């Protein structure tokens, strides 16, 4: 969250956002292990709230960043943030883009029906990202503020993969034939648009009322040409198949929410309601290319429509029982109605039965905080939450890697539910300890299922239960005036109870951990600052009957400030030793799969940032969009 507003971002986008926030603009960072019922029940992990400083001056301020990075190919990034305040009016806007190609190298090695399929792939993502926001707030009087925000997130451009699959019997390993497949995504787009109208009222006693009405639209689509050529060990062409696939996805999102807070007795009561309506229409056409003709495969071409409505209401009460004890309790009620319908292009093929999901859920959240002393605090918390499937994961369309392996959505997916208990201990000396236990049912995971004798389908499914026990420690300290350290470590035990079907059931357990260490140094020459960041993830078990190997990453950077600290220049390298790789394996019922590879995580980066204008100008006020959770379910 940023100033109390939920923000759903991919990890790379989150890093980019944080880099645009100068350290002197952040007042505090709050960790919410078990968020209260005023937040949507979606999300089985905790929340982080970054609170920025706010001034009262008027005028214009802003910041811009330009940067370049390179490893396999060059990339550029740019960010611009503007904020203008005059009298009762506040105008703000942001723009950023990331342009360049991103390379992946990965391999799927599988053994199926006593046959080896060894498939290395070279993948180049050529898409660009452009994001923009434009908004205005107007203070109607001393108690009321009306705001309008428009935003867009656009990702567009081509992509290209080359896969070579060597096929051989497991007994001898002698090459039988090789499949050469290319995915030429000559057109891709994933564009989001959002408009939000929001209102806030607050009186002199602290009572507040806020409301937001949102509309969002997702416009996605792709065009892909895929040749598949089989050759003998001698290089003779055995057969050729050429396919073209065309996809189009449109998602309309509507939402309204209202929240009210007031003091009640010795505490504070919060109540609210929310309603969201999501409608998606997805079309998929699969064509076989034969010479100059393109023939529609009517049994593989279809249309999937999905409609989901969620109505929610909550009540939350917080009270300070004494100077040392604080209690909080809340309950959120959510009613979900979902309908999905798959229709084939072949008029002779009967449409599938509509998928219907109607469920009513209660999500309690309880916490108790105890002030052990002025320096030490202890808290206990419990919350029940859920993760709904991404909209595209419900879409049964097929995405081919080659004609022997593909990804397919699952309209029968159910939400996964989690109950989380946590004990937190913190000190004013920047030490925090968290002991947590989470029990999750109906885990959503992508599994690899065998089809026919030589094909494999990767599809998301609800696969069972998970028990997760963890102990996390974080500490920040300064050994000297020129050296700062932030360290974090987690030790956890995971117990996965997986059931693909009645005949394929597994239990995977693992004791694992991860750690991170960030060090910053003020060097004694040229006004330079240095930063060294490292992390490590041990081998572990995942929710899809997989065991992952360990990996890690080490980054380093130098920076210097200019123009009376208004500007800064940084030069860094990420993943110095190219150790941020994935490597997993799974095995069941005579099927073995190993997946390993890496992306372009090693990059040399050069960035320049400049802050201008009146630094005391108040930042844009907190806004709570009604579509934060729904937009986060669009991939």
| Domain annotation for the chain: domains and CATH numbers | 11-631 (2.40.170.20)
Where does the pLDDT of residue 590 fall: very low under 50, low under 70, confident under 90, or very high at 90 and above? confident
Six-digit token pair at 333? 């009620």
Residue 349 pLDDT: 65
Average pLDDT over every residue of 135-159? 95
* Residues 581, 548: Cα–Cα separation, whole Å: 10
* Average pLDDT, integer, range 398-409: 86
Q: What is the mean pLDDT of the chain?
A: 88
What pLDDT is attached to residue 10?
41
The whole-number pLDDT of residue 354 equals 84
Q: Is residue 46 over pLDDT 60?
A: no
Do the Cβ atoms of 333 and 360 come closer than 8 Å? yes
Quote the CA–CA distance of 522 and 352 in Å, as a whole number: 65
pLDDT tens sequence across 67-103: 999 999 999 999 999 999 999 999 999 999 999 999 9
Exposed, middle or buried, 142 (CB in 10 Å: 0-12/13-18/19+)?
Answer: exposed
Instruction: Reply yes or no on whether the pLDDT at 16 is more than 90.
Output: no
What is the residue-wise DSSP string for 333-355?
A: EEEEEEEEEEEES-TTSPPPPPE
Question: Which uninterrupted H or E stretch holds 17?
Answer: helix 11-19
Section 206-215 average pLDDT: 95
**Strand 540-541, strand 547-548: pairing:** antiparallel
| 19 pLDDT tier (thresholds 50, 70, 90) | very low
Per the document, the length of the chain is 635
In the predicted structure, residue 619 carries a pLDDT above the cut 90: no
Confidence of residue 20 (pLDDT cuts 50, 70, 90): very low
Lowest-confidence segment of 34-38, 186-190, 266-270, 573-577 by average pLDDT: 34-38
Residue 346: pLDDT band with limits 50, 70, 90: confident
Confidence at residue 149, expressed as pLDDT on a 0 to 100 scale:
96
Structure confidence at residue 403 as a pLDDT band (50, 70, 90): confident
Query: Is 573:547 a contact under the CB 8 Å cutoff?
Result: no
pLDDT of residue 39: 64
> Residue 390 gets which letter from DSSP?
P
Pairwise pLDDT comparison (175 vs 7), residue with the higher score: 175
Q: Give pLDDT tens digits for 291-332.
A: 889 999 988 899 999 999 999 999 999 999 999 999 999 999
Residue 7 confidence (pLDDT): 46
* Strand-strand pairing, 405-408 and 455-462: parallel
Q: Which residue has the tokens 């052990």?
A: 372
Q: Is 378 helix (H, G, I), strand (E, B) or coil?
A: strand
Contact criterion met (CB below 8 Å) for 485 and 521:
no
pLDDT given for residue 53 in this prediction: 44
Answer yes or no: is pLDDT of 496 > 70: yes
Q: Over pLDDT 90: what percentage of the chain?
A: 70
Quick check: 8 pLDDT over 50? no
Is 50 exceeded by the pLDDT of residue 13? no
Of the chain, the percentage scoring pLDDT greater than 70 comes to 86
Dist CA 205 CA 463 (whole Å): 50
Report whether pLDDT(169) > 50. yes
Q: How far from chain centre, in Å, is Cα 443?
A: 17
Contacts of residue 59, Cβ cutoff 8 Å, sequence gap at least 6: 84, 85, 86, 613, 614, 617
Task: Identify the pLDDT of residue 24.
Answer: 43
Query: pTM of the predicted model, to two decimals?
Result: 0.84
Which of 60-64, 376-380, 545-549 has maximum average pLDDT? 376-380
Let me know: does 535 contact 515? Beta carbons within 8 Å.
Answer: yes
More confident residue, 623 or 561: 561
pLDDT above 90: residue 156: yes
State how far Cα 109 lies from the chain centre. Answer: 27
Instruction: Return the beta strands (E) in 291-415 as ranges.
Output: 293-296, 302-320, 325-344, 355-371, 376-387, 398-402, 405-408
Q: Which of 13-27, 99-113, 338-352 has the highest mean pLDDT?
A: 99-113
Helix/strand/coil (H/E/C) assignment for every residue in 36-104: CCCCCCECCCCEEEEEECCCCECEEEEEEEEEEEECCCEEEEEEEEEEEEECCEEEEEEEEEEEECEEE
Q: What is the mean pLDDT of residues 509-533?
A: 95
Distance from C-alpha of 388 to C-alpha of 5, rounded to nearest angstrom: 20
Residue 565 is given by DSSP the state T
pLDDT value of position 328: 97
Query: Is residue 438 within 8 Å of residue 420, measured between CB atoms?
Result: yes
Q: What pLDDT is recorded for position 321?
A: 93
Per mean pLDDT, which range of 2-11, 212-221, 315-324, 335-344 is the poorest?
A: 2-11
The backbone torsions φ and ψ at residue 549, rounded to the nearest 5 degrees and listed phi first, read -75, 165
> What would the DSSP string read from start to end of 101-140?
-EEEEEEEEEEETTEEEEEEEEEEE--EEEEEEEEEEEE-
């Amino acid at each position: 969250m940023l100033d109390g507003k939920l923000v759903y971002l991919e990890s790379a986008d989150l890093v980019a956002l944080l880099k645009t926030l100068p350290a002197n603009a952040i007042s505090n960072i709050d960790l919410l292990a078990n968020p209260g019922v005023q937040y949507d029940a979606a999300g089985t992990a905790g929340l982080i709230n970054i609170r920025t400083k706010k001034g009262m001056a008027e005028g214009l301020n802003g910041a811009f960043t330009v940067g370049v990075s390179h490893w396999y190919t060059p990339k550029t990034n740019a960010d611009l943030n503007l904020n203008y305040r005059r009298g009762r009016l506040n105008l703000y806007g942001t723009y950023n883009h990331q342009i360049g190609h991103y390379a992946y190298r990965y391999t799927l090695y599988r053994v199926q029906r006593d046959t080896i399929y060894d498939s290395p792939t070279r993948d180049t993502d050529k898409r660009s990202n452009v994001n923009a926001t434009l908004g205005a707030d107007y203070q109607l009087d001393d108690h009321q503020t009306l705001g309008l925000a428009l935003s867009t997130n656009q990702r567009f451009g081509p992509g290209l993969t080359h896969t070579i699959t060597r096929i051989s019997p497991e007994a001898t390993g002698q090459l039988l034939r090789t499949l050469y497949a290319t995915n030429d995504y000559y057109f891709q787009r994933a564009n989001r648009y959002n408009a939000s109208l929001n209102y806030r009222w607050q009186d002199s006693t602290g009572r507040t009322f806020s409301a937001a009405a949102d509309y969002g639209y997702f416009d996605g689509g792709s065009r892909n040409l895929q040749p598949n050529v089989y050759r003998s060990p001698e290089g003779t062409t055995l057969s050729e198949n050429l396919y073209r696939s065309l996809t189009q996805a449109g998602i309309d999102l509507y939402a309204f929410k209202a929240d009210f807070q007031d003091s009640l007795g010795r505490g504070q009561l919060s109540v609210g309601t929310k309603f969201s309506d999501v409608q998606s229409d997805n079309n998929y056409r699969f064509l076989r290319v034969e010479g100059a003709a393109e023939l529609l495969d009517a049994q593989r071409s279809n249309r999937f429509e999905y409609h989901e409505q969620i109505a929610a209401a909550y009540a939350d009460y917080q009270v300070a029982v004494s100077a040392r004890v604080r209690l909080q309790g809340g309950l959120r009620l959510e009613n979900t109605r979902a309908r999905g319908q798959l229709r084939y292009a072949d008029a002779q093929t009967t449409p599938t039965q509509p998928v219907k999901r109607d469920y009513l859920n209660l999500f309690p959240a309880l916490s108790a905080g105890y002030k052990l002393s002025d320096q030490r605090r202890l808290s206990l918390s419990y919350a029940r939450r859920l993760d709904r499937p991404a909209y595209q994961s419900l879409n049964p369309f097929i995405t081919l890697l080659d004609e022997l392996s593909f990804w397919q959505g699952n309209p029968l997916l159910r939400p996964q539910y989690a109950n989380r208990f946590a004990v937190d201990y913190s000190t004013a000396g920047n030490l925090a300890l968290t002991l947590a236990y989470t029990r999750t049912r109906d885990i959503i995971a992508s599994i690899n299922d065998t089809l026919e004798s030589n094909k494999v389908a990767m599809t998301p499914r609800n696969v069972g239960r998970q028990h997760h026990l963890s102990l996390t420690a974080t500490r920040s300290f300064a050994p000297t005036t020129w050296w700062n350290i932030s360290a974090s470590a987690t030790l956890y035990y995971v117990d996965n109870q997986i059931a693909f079907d009645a005949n394929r059931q597994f239990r995977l357990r693992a004791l694992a951990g991860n750690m991170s260490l960030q060090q910053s140094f003020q060097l004694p020459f040229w006004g330079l600052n240095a930063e060294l960041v490292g992390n490590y993830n041990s081998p572990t078990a995942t929710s899809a009957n997989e065991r992952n190997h360990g990996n890690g990453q080490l980054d380093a950077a130098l920076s210097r400030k200019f123009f009376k600290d208004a500007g800064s220049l940084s030069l860094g390298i990420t993943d110095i030793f190219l150790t941020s790789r994935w490597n997993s394996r799974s095995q069941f019922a005579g099927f073995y799969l190993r997946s390993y590879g890496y992306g372009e995580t090693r990059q040399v980066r050069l960035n320049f940032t400049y802050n201008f204008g009146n630094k005391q100008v108040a930042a844009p006020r907190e806004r709570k969009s009604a579509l934060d959770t729904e937009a986060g379910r669009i991939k």
